[in-house]
Amino acid sequence: MKACSTCKVEQPLSNYSKDRRAKDGKRYQCTGCRTKSKTAYRQTEAGRATEREQKRRYNKSEHGRAMFKQYNQRYYRSDKAVAARLLRKQQGYYKGRAYKKRQKQIDAIKLAYGLSEEQYLAMFEAQDHKCSICLTKVEPWSRLTHIDHDKTKEYAPARCHPDAVRGILCSLCNPGLGMFKHDSAALLKAAAYINGSQQLLQQQQ
């Protein structure tokens, strides 16, 4: 019998793992307490780093490379595994980065503007793939394309109702409206100012 240094309970020596450094050849912690302490240590940042380093060293060792080669030949390159991967590929199980990126864009538009993918693409068709203001060519899913909406109809930060969406704008016109704070009166004054300046230049010439 031997008392565990952690739980202080006397247990038979069969409940202790081997330790060559100890006089009796057994560890000072019982198997249960050692398992709990190792589990708690793995949850810390130092424990995770140690585990990654151990895996890296094992994968580079001769035994690790041999086990990987054996697993590769048995499970990955077997006829059954190849047939299973081909079936999953035909069923659309494997998705590339482009597909995942597109799904994130669809989810973001749905969350922010309440628009489905079909509604988003229909807006481009209605505008003939052109900006509503400057008539510059715009493409869907592009970073240079913006969805303009009425800021007064936002029911939460960066959230608006589909009825508040006004159209598709380019990367210049959309921030331009924001600079004027979406004030139509300010935009009319700016237009009058530009027209007046052009008339003065024409008179001076």
Note the pLDDT of residue 204. 57
> Distance between CA 16 and CA 2 in Å, rounded?
9
Residue 17 DSSP symbol = -
> E strand or H helix at 169, and its extent?
strand 165-170
Note the pLDDT of residue 33. 92
Note the pLDDT of residue 74. 77
Residue at 32 is within a domain: no
> Distance between CA 43 and CA 59 in Å, rounded?
22
Residue at 92 is within a domain: no
Note the pLDDT of residue 198. 66
Residue at 123 is within a domain: yes
Where residue 158 falls (left for φ over 0; alpha for ψ -120 to 50; beta otherwise) is left
- Range of the structural domain that residue 162 is part of: 98-192
| Cβ–Cβ under 8 Å, residues 167 and 146 | no
Residue at 174 is within a domain: yes
Note the pLDDT of residue 159. 67
pLDDT tens for the chain, 205 residues long, are 889 999 999 998 888 999 888 888 898 889 999 999 989 998 999 999 999 999 999 989 999 999 888 887 777 777 777 888 788 777 666 677 777 888 889 998 988 888 999 999 999 999 999 999 999 999 999 988 999 988 776 655 556 777 888 999 999 999 999 899 888 888 888 888 888 876 655 665 5
User: DSSP labels for 92-161?
Assistant: T----HHHHHHHHHHHHHHHHH---HHHHHHHHHHTTTB-TTT--B--TT-TTEEEEE-GGGEEETTEE-
The set of residues, in sequence order, having a beta carbon less than 8 Å from that of 115 and lying 6+ positions away, is 109, 123, 147, 162, 165
The set of residues, in sequence order, having a beta carbon less than 8 Å from that of 180 and lying 6+ positions away, is 186, 187, 190
User: Residue 120: which of 162, 77, 72, 89 has the closest Cα?
Assistant: 162
Note the pLDDT of residue 203. 63
Tell me the pTM: 0.49
Residue at 173 is within a domain: yes
Number of domains the chain is built from: 1
> Distance between CA 34 and CA 49 in Å, rounded?
19
Residue at 184 is within a domain: yes
Q: Residue 119 belongs to a domain with what CATH number? A: 3.40.1800.10
> Distance between CA 6 and CA 153 in Å, rounded?
63
- Percentages of the chain per state (helix, strand, coil), in multiples of 5: 60, 10, 30
Note the pLDDT of residue 151. 76
Note the pLDDT of residue 63. 92
Residue at 24 is within a domain: no
| Cβ–Cβ under 8 Å, residues 125 and 167 | no
Q: What is the dihedral of CA 175, 103, 160, 184, to 10 degrees?
A: 20
Residue at 47 is within a domain: no
